[in-house]
Amino acid sequence: MVPDEPRAHASPADDPAADEPRLLDHLLELRGRLLRAVLGLLAVFVVLLPFGNKLYGWLAQPLLQKLPAGAQIIAVEVASPFFAPVKLAFFTALLATMPWLLYQAWAFVAPGLYSREKRLALPLLVSAVALFYIGCAFAFFLVLPGVFGFLVHIAPEGVAMMTDINAYLDFVLVIFLAFGASFELPVALVIAVVLGWVTPAQLREARGYAIVGIFVIAAIITPPDVVSQLMLAIPMVLLYELGIIAARFVTPRER
């Protein structure tokens, strides 16, 4: 009688039942990270909510300084004086807690990354946050005064420029997002090089096409004046060159 062959023992990795607790642990970790992120955002929002009017007064300075004497921002809708400061307080809280929100995402993803991926991802994450803040500051201190000065100057004679409180806030937030996202160009180029989509040499060769595309994008997302277009396009061209330089440090040297 031939003895039965020994059965191969199934490895834990091949057992679907062994993956269920692991998946549950990941879901619990994700829920905890999301809860911490939301609680941090809400805590900062609650703290900033009483200062909503002061925040709006500070945000309105670039326009108020360019308006003629006696001109001011108006509220067309009845509830605008309440909702506009609340909206600004939430947006400010979102900007202030961005490092905390990204840290929660990083803490969830980091255990599954290799050491080389961690060395690349962490500087890119910090650079992305810093560049977004720089883009918003650049828009507030340099772009908005230039844009409002141009718009007030070209207003027809006899037309009083009286901007609605909500319209002004939406306009400024769009400018912040546009410049903050545009200043992420070096990070986007480095990521494209790391993923193997392009090489630093190809980026250098496409410099002329990139400059034309930058001016087209600047003309689309900025107000219809040459000042704001140039103030977005010129920094983006410089950031494109910075992205090429940074991309050379994450790729092997070309022979």
Question: In terms of C-beta density within 10 A (0-12 exposed, 13-18 middle, 19 or more buried), how is residue 118 classed?
Answer: middle
Start-end of H helices in 139-247: 144-153, 165-182, 185-194, 200-205, 207-221, 226-247
pTM for the structure as a whole:
0.83
| Amino acid (one-letter) located at 72 | Q
- With H, G, I as helix, E, B as strand and everything else as coil, classify residue 9: coil
| Amino acid (one-letter) located at 235 | P
Q: Please give the chain's pLDDT, 255 residues, in tens.
A: 445 444 444 444 455 555 666 778 878 888 999 999 999 999 999 999 999 999 999 999 999 898 887 778 888 888 889 999 999 999 999 999 999 999 998 888 888 778 877 888 888 899 999 999 999 999 999 999 988 888 888 877 777 778 899 999 999 999 999 899 999 999 999 999 988 899 999 999 999 999 999 999 988 888 777 878 888 899 999 999 999 999 888 775 543
CA separation for the pair 65, 52 (Å, rounded): 20
> In the Cβ-directed half-sphere of 164, how many Cα atoms lie within 13 Å?
11
